[in-house]
Amino acid sequence: MLSPQFHKVFGVAFFLLTCYAQGNPAGIPPVPGFTGLPEDGIAEAFISDFPSFDNNEMEDVILQLGSRISRLEGVLYLEGKITASGRKIFATNGKTADFYTTVQKCKQAGGCIATPGNQGENAAILYFVKQFNKYAYLGIKQSVIPGKFRSLSGAELNYTNWYLSEPSGKGKEECVEMYTDGTWNDKKCNQNHLIVCQF
């Protein structure tokens, strides 16, 4: 006998996998409790008074939200606006900034500066570095020990992709840039590099 949890997961997976025969003839109806897309810009979208749902209705709302989000992600992915690896989504605005501005911009957008934790995530960031032909800063900084690097959260790096003989800054290069082949170099933090964030 399958658990109710399984049915829920299966239901969500079903919604995430199907992308046809949804037939919304007269515009896209809003998910209950949410307004639809505004006529003149997403900024005016807002959550209306949240109705009280019973469990079945709530489950339905969650499924619909899952479907809406996955379709939005599909559009963004198709247009090359986002890349994904595992649970992380990466994006750029195509602009350049120094390291600290990049950290700030990503935070303002509700994410953080791209920090590859494995080869797949490194490749997902590299996609933008190649597309814009610009190096990107990563969310990795020198620790109090010169030449030793940690993630911005302070965690030890369990994945690195240093270019041959890097890091070579001996304490004088506190930030890390990604080259156009995906390898890393320790570098001063004041360069103008492609802003790539993770969400």
Chain positions contacting ligand MMA, by CB under 6 A: 166, 168-169, 173, 185-187
On whether the CB atoms of residues 152 and 106 are closer than 8 A, the answer is no
Total Cβ atoms within 10 A of residue 53 = 14
Instruction: Select 80 or 171, whichever has its Cβ closest to ligand MMA.
Output: 171
Q: Which of residues 168-197 bind Ca ion (CB under 5 A)?
A: 168-169, 173, 185-186
How far, in whole angstroms, is CA 136 from its chain's centroid?
15
Instruction: Select 87 or 170, whichever has its Cβ closest to Ca ion.
Output: 170
If we measure between CA atoms, which residue out of 141, 140, 138, 134 comes closest to residue 194? 134
Six token digits for residue 10: 């299966």
Provide, rounded to whole angstroms, the least separation between the CB of residue 141 and ligand MMA: 14
Binding window for Ca ion (CB under 5 A); candidates: 82-90, 98-106, 151-159, 165-173: 165-173
Tokens 């600290």 sit at which residue?
A: 100
Provide, rounded to whole angstroms, the least separation between the CB of residue 89 and Ca ion: 29
Instruction: Select 89 or 129, whichever has its Cβ closest to ligand MMA.
Output: 129
